[in-house]
Amino acid sequence: MVFWITAAALTFGVCLVLLAPLARGRTDAADSRVHEIEVYKDQLLEIERDMARGLITSGEAELARAEIGRKIIRLSDARDAGVVGGKPRAVGSWIGAIAILSLPLVSWGLYAATGSPGYPGQPLQARLQSDPTQASVDELIARAEAHLAANPDDARGWDVLAPIYMRLGRYGDAATAFASASRLDEPTAARLAGEGEALAASAGGQITADALERFERALALSPDDVRSRYFVALAADQAGNGEQARQMWQDMRADLPQESPWHGVIVAAIENEGTDASPGAEAEAIETMVAGLAARLEANANDVDGWQQLIRSYMVLERPQDAQAALDRARAAFGPGSPEAGHLVAYGLSLGLEVEQ
Partner 1 sequence: MAITRKQKRLAVIGGAFGFLALATTLTFVALGSKASYFYTPADVAEKGVAAGERIRLGGLVATGSIARDGGTDVSFAVTDRIETVTVSYSGILPDLFREEQGVIAEGAFDASGHFVADTVLARHDENYMPREVADSMKARGIWQDGE
Partner 2 sequence: MIVEIGHFALVLAFALSLVLSVAPLVGARIGDARLMGIAEPASISILALIALSFAALTVAYVQSDFSVANVWENSHSAKPMLYKITGVWGNHEGSMLLWILILAAFAALVAIFGRNLPATLRANVLAVQGMIAAAFLLFVLASSNPFERINPPPIEGQDLNPILQDIGLAIHPPLLYLGYVGFSICFSFAVAALIEGRIDAAWARWVRPWTLAAWAALTGGIAMGSYWAYYELGWGGYWFWDPVENASFLPWLSGTALLHSAIVMEKRSALKIWTVLLAILTFSLSLLGTFLVRSGVLTSVHAFATDPTRGVFILMILIAFIGGSLALFAFRASTLTAGGVFHPISREGGLVLNNLFLTTAAATVLVGTLWPLLVEAVSGEKISVGAPFFNMTFGPLIVPLLLAVPFGPLLAWKRGDLLAVSQRLFAAFGVSLAIALATFFIVDRVSALAAFGIAVAFWLVFGAITDLALKSGVGKVSAPVALRRFIGLPRSVFGTALAHAGLGLTTLGIVAVSALEVERIAVMQPGDAMDVAGYELRFDGIFPFEGPNYTEEQGRFTYSDRSGRERGEIVSAKRFYPARQMPTTEAGIASRGFSQLYVALGDRAPDGGIVVRAWWKPQVLFIWIGCVAMMLGGAISLLDRRLRVGAPAARRATPARPAVEPAE
Query: How far is the C-alpha of 273 from the C-alpha of 278, rounded, in Å?
Result: 9
Exposed / middle / buried, residue 78 (Cβ in 10 Å: 0-12, 13-18, 19+): exposed
Interaction mask 173-202, partner 2, x per CB under 8 A:
x--x------x-------------------
- Rule CB under 8 A: say whether 347 interacts with partner 1: yes
- Rule CB under 8 A: say whether 345 interacts with partner 1: no
- Rule CB under 8 A: say whether 164 interacts with partner 1: no
Identity of the residue, 246 or 312, whose beta carbon is nearer to partner 1 in the bound complex: 312
- Rule CB under 8 A: say whether 352 interacts with partner 1: yes
- Rule CB under 8 A: say whether 123 interacts with partner 1: no
* Binding residue count for partner 1, defined by CB under 8 A: 6
| Residue 65 near residue 47 (C-beta atoms within 8 A) | yes
Q: How far is the CB of 243 from partner 1 (least distance, A)?
A: 21
Q: How far is the CB of 209 from partner 1 (least distance, A)?
A: 11
Query: How far is the C-alpha of 248 from the C-alpha of 251, rounded, in Å?
Result: 5
> Residues near 37 by Cβ (< 8 Å), separated by ≥ 6?
72, 75, 76
Distances 170 to 134, 293, 356 between C-alpha atoms, Å: 23, 11, 30
CA 291 to chain centre: 27
Query: How far is the C-alpha of 334 from the C-alpha of 225, rounded, in Å?
Result: 42
Binding partner selected for residue 351 from partner 1, partner 2, none, CB under the kind-specific 5 to 8 Å limit: partner 1
Nearest CA to 171 among 73, 267, 305, 24? Answer: 305
**Which listed residue (65, 79, 80, 85) binds partner 2 by CB under 8 A?**
85
| Residue 303 near residue 340 (C-beta atoms within 8 A) | no
Query: How far is the C-alpha of 60 from the C-alpha of 43, rounded, in Å?
Result: 14
* Binding residue count for partner 2, defined by CB under 8 A: 89
Binding partner selected for residue 261 from partner 1, partner 2, none, CB under the kind-specific 5 to 8 Å limit: none
* The one segment of 86-94, 132-140, 146-154, 348-356 that binds partner 1 by CB under 8 A: 348-356
Restricting to residues 19-38, name those near partner 2 by CB under 8 A: 20-22, 24-36, 38
Identity of the residue, 183 or 255, whose beta carbon is nearer to partner 2 in the bound complex: 183
- Rule CB under 8 A: say whether 118 interacts with partner 1: no
Task: Using CB under 8 A, list all residues that contact partner 1.
Answer: 308, 312, 347, 350-352
